[in-house]
């Protein structure tokens, strides 16, 4: 009986913490604000929890004072550990949590680049959104070309 309670507690914690991941968004000095879907950040760097997803994406818009906005889609990482837990305990959860944010992002509007990494000791990986991703983010934020 006690082992069932412990197992239920572990599964509950895994499900509750598997719904979102923490990330820190920073930017080059010229960036005034970053909008990530419905959330807006004007004081950067900003740390927040972002929901995991399997099929969705996170469009962003970064702006500097007086310049053209930078649109794109946030690169996401695959959560293999979540997949294993989903298979073992609750397979339908795979529809909600296979991809999540990286712990750190840095947005550079001038270079139209987003950098991400898994930890402070890792080197940055640079990513330039494709034209299709830029257009998708423009449409999401209601901007015309």
User: Are the C-beta atoms of 53 and 99 separated by less than 8 Å?
Assistant: yes
What is the pLDDT tens value at each position of the chain, 145 positions in all? 676 666 555 555 555 445 777 888 888 777 778 999 888 998 888 898 888 777 788 999 999 877 889 999 999 887 766 667 766 677 776 666 777 889 999 999 889 999 999 988 999 999 999 999 999 999 999 876 5
- What radius of gyration, in Å, describes the C-alpha atoms of the chain? 17
Q: Which residues of 48-67 are buried (b: 16+ CB within 10 A; e: fewer)?
A: eebebbbeebbbbbbbbeee
State the CB neighbour count (10 A cutoff) for residue 141.
13
Beta bridge partners of 22: 49
């Amino acid at each position: 009986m006690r082992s069932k309670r412990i197992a239920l507690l572990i599964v509950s914690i895994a499900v509750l913490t598997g719904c979102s991941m923490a990330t820190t968004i920073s930017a080059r000095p010229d960036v005034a604000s970053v909008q990530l879907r419905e959330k807006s950040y004007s004081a950067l760097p900003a740390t927040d929890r972002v929901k995991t997803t399997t099929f969705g994406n996170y469009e962003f818009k970064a702006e500097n004072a007086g310049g053209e906005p930078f649109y794109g889609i946030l690169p996401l990482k695959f959560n293999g550990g979540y997949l294993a837990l989903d298979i073992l305990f609750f397979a339908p959860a795979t529809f909600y949590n296979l991809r999540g944010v990286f712990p750190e992002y840095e947005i550079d509007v001038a270079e139209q680049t987003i950098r991400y990494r898994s930890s402070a000791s890792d080197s940055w990986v640079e990513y330039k959104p494709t034209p299709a991703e830029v257009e998708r983010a423009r449409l999401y934020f209601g901007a015309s070309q």
